[in-house]
Amino acid sequence: MALLFGIIELGFVFKDYLAVAGAVRAGVRTASANPRMATFAQVAANKVAQTGGAMNFSDVQQLWVFKVDPTTNKTIGFSNFSDCNYCVKFKWDSGAKAFVPLTDTWASTTQNACSLSIGGPLDRIGVYIQLKHNPITGFVLKTIYISEASVLSLEPIPVSTGCKP
Residue 77 in this model has a pLDDT that exceeds 70: no
Instruction: Output the average pLDDT for the chain.
Output: 86
| Predicted pLDDT of residue 93 | 96
> Could you give the C-alpha distances from 73 to 84, 100, 103, in angstroms and in order?
15, 27, 23
Give residue 122's pLDDT band: very low, low, confident or very high (50, 70, 90).
confident
Label residues 45-67 b or e (16+ Cβ within 10 Å = b): bbbbbebbeebebebbebbbbbb
Rounded CA separation 144/86 (Å): 28
Rounded CA separation 72/135 (Å): 38
Rounded CA separation 30/12 (Å): 27
| Predicted pLDDT of residue 165 | 59
Rounded CA separation 5/62 (Å): 28
- The answer to the question of residue 31 being in a domain is yes
- The answer to the question of residue 107 being in a domain is yes
- The answer to the question of residue 165 being in a domain is no
| Predicted pLDDT of residue 123 | 86
Closest CA to 60 of 35, 92, 34: 92
- The answer to the question of residue 34 being in a domain is yes
- Work out how many domains the chain is built from and give that number: 1
Residues 122 and 153 sit within 8 Å (Cβ to Cβ): yes
The domain containing residue 52 runs over which residues? 2-160
Rounded CA separation 153/138 (Å): 41
Coil/strand/helix, residue 70? coil
- The answer to the question of residue 83 being in a domain is yes
Residue 107 in this model has a pLDDT that exceeds 80: yes
Tens-digit pLDDT profile for residues 144-158: 999 999 999 888 887
Tens-digit pLDDT profile for residues 32-76: 998 888 999 999 999 999 999 889 999 999 999 999 877 777 766
Which of the 8 DSSP states describes residue 152? E
Comparison of pLDDT for 122 and 30, the residue scoring more: 30
The Cβ of residue 33 has, within 10 Å, a number of other Cβ atoms equal to 16
